[in-house]
A and B are shown apart, each in its own frame.
Chain A
Amino acid sequence: MSRAMLLALQVLVAIVCIALWQLLSSVPVLGKILLPPFFFSNPVDVFDQIVKWFVSGVIWKHLWITLVESILAFVIGSLGGVLIGFWFARQPLVAAVFDPYVKMVNALPRVVLAPIFALWLGLGIWSKVALGVTLVFFIVFFNVYQGVKEVSRTVLDNGRMLGMSEGQLMRHVYWPSALSWMFSSLHTSVGFAVVGAVVGEYLGSAAGLGYLIQQAEGVFDVAGVFAGMFVLSAFVILIDMGVTLVERRLLVWRPTVDGRG
């Protein structure tokens, strides 16, 4: 199928869904409106709300806050995950000692941490960053740990036979291998950074997309909730496209990425 055809079909799905939504929320079927506007709003109102946000410019501040929180959560979480993952993989004893605790913390639903972070770090951006970090860290940590542990035995032996010192093995073998695993989880970890930020905002903040959605919900402004969700989805898709570009550049040597592209 050609690209244009695919795109046309994709757009068609959106049009059909939105048309159905508009129809069912405004035209009675057998004397009953299936999607009552109070609960489901309708596309026209939602669209109005989005336009209003962008025209008045209020949305930019919220988008910016969420973006900053996501980026900070991603950077800090990844950095921590890479360092600790590397350390654990190279020091099996440390890994063995901490193993049950790592599993325990990871099993904890992060949402329950949000109030604690709000208490510790206030209602500003840092409590949201902290929440995002706890999500991103574990994804990156497990991937890097795995990446370092599962370096091909042959490649490692080859490095040794070529005369690599421990430091050179680190730089030329372990490091690229760990990074490749980290990048393979890039989509997930970036997504979770955004999730952490938005959930944090939702649970208590003064700005951000999560705050916007929470505010609308507070006054039963369903159009506002849907508008917030759409803006959030578009935001995530844009970020994801950015990640794909970065990934293509960084993982040229990997067959899977090449095959997908």
Chain B
Amino acid sequence: MTTPTAVALEDAKVAFRLGDGRVYTAVEKAHLTVAQGEFVAIVGPTGCGKSTLLNVAAGLLKPAAGGVRIFDRPLAGLNRDAGYLFQADALFPWKTALDNVAIGLEIKGTPRAEALPLAQKWLTSVGLGAFAGRYPHMLSGGQRKRVALAQVLIRDPKILLMDEPFGPLDAQTRQVMGNLLLDLWNADRKAVLFVTHDLEEAIALADRVVIMSAGPSSRIIGDWRVNLQRPRDIFEVRLDKEFHALHREIWSVLKDEVMKGYAQSTHAAEAV
């Protein structure tokens, strides 16, 4: 028996019309599948369109060509099976941490009286039980990410889409958040599509690491399976021999793309 496919991007192409009428192709023919229960990380140089790809899977962006299938059904409109964790702060600043988490259920029609205790439980499970009454601006960056995680997970989505969610955090907080994510994910193993520019983070978290080439018209140029044992501890796994071997192997491919991406961005800056 094969596990069902949660997300399938089938030769998805993403293009934007620029202000001057030209068409900018961000991603070319991206083919990518995420099986149910699989944790896939997309890594690529800055500006390669990895977030764009995630937005296509979320239904926030329509591919210019190709298709998206979610659990074998073509995606029309927003992806209702997915929870999305944004890179930037996406919490509602006018709601307390508790209300921010509870809103995920209230939208579905759960009465507030039922939603609030559940929200409190989720806040506790992301380690913020005592911060229920705080507004987002009273929380640290890491704490806000925890609330955002609870806000997404309380809806119990079948798919988790994460766009460099820990990008703005400091290195230590990122590792703590990574472990928290793995713990929560281990409980019910949702399909995860995790975008990051940090290769180490990708290998430490994921079952598969997908590499994208530098943009424009970036493509998927590599796909590695990570066979590190689960459950993992992010602090420990980085010391593993296998981790290093894999890191070296993927980096040899990624390095060229990073240099290309960097050269392009500096050229672009010079052209301006």
Residues of A bordering B, CB below 8 Å: 152, 154-155, 157-164, 168, 172-173, 176-177, 180, 252-255, 258
CA distance A177 to B95 in the complex (A): 11
Given contacts A160-B60, A253-B94, contact A172 B84 (CB under 8 A): no
CA distance A154 to B136 in the complex (A): 15
CA distance A121 to B94 in the complex (A): 41
Q: How far is the CB of A259 from chain B (nearest CB, A)?
A: 10
Chain A positions within 8 Å of B78 at CB level: 160-161
CA distance A158 to B152 in the complex (A): 9
What is the size category of the interface that chain B forms with chain A?
20 to 34
A253 and B151 contact, CB distance less than 8 A: no
Q: How far is the CB of A99 from chain B (nearest CB, A)?
A: 21
Of the candidates A154, A162, A173, the one whose C-beta lies within 8 Å of that of B89 is: A154
Instruction: Give me 21 A-to-B residue pairs in the complex whose CB atoms sit less than 8 angstroms apart, sorted by A's number.
Output: A154-B86, A154-B88, A155-B90, A155-B93, A157-B90, A158-B91, A158-B92, A159-B92, A161-B78, A161-B84, A162-B104, A162-B152, A162-B155, A163-B108, A168-B107, A172-B95, A172-B103, A176-B92, A253-B94, A253-B136, A254-B93
Residues of B bordering A, CB below 8 Å: 58, 60, 78-80, 82-84, 86, 88-96, 103-104, 107-108, 135-138, 151-152, 155
Chain A positions within 8 Å of B135 at CB level: 252-253
Of the candidates A160, A163, A172, the one whose C-beta lies within 8 Å of that of B92 is: A172
New contact pairs (12) apart from A152-B89, A253-B136, CB-CB < 8 Å: A155-B93, A158-B91, A161-B58, A162-B104, A163-B108, A172-B92, A172-B103, A173-B92, A252-B135, A253-B137, A254-B93, A255-B137
B90 and A158 contact, CB distance less than 8 A: yes
CA distance A161 to B162 in the complex (A): 12
Among residues of A, the one whose C-beta sits closest to the C-beta of B136 is: A253
A164 and B107 contact, CB distance less than 8 A: yes
CA distance A111 to B93 in the complex (A): 40
* Listed residue (A161, A164, A177) with the most chain B CB atoms within 10 angstroms of its CB: A161
Among residues of B, the one whose C-beta sits closest to the C-beta of A164 is: B107
Among residues of B, the one whose C-beta sits closest to the C-beta of A163 is: B107
Chain B positions within 8 Å of A255 at CB level: 137
CA distance A154 to B155 in the complex (A): 19
Chain B positions within 8 Å of A168 at CB level: 107
A163 and B155 contact, CB distance less than 8 A: yes
B103 and A161 contact, CB distance less than 8 A: no
CA distance A125 to B86 in the complex (A): 53
Q: Which 3 interchain pairs have the tightest Cβ spacing?
A: A158-B90, A253-B135, A161-B84
CA distance A14 to B91 in the complex (A): 47
B107 and A158 contact, CB distance less than 8 A: no
Chain B positions within 8 Å of A258 at CB level: 137-138
Chain B positions within 8 Å of A180 at CB level: 94
CA distance A161 to B91 in the complex (A): 12
Chain A positions within 8 Å of B82 at CB level: 161
Given contacts A172-B92, A253-B135, A253-B137, contact A157 B84 (CB under 8 A): yes
* Listed residue (B79, B107, B135, B136) with the most chain A CB atoms within 10 angstroms of its CB: B107
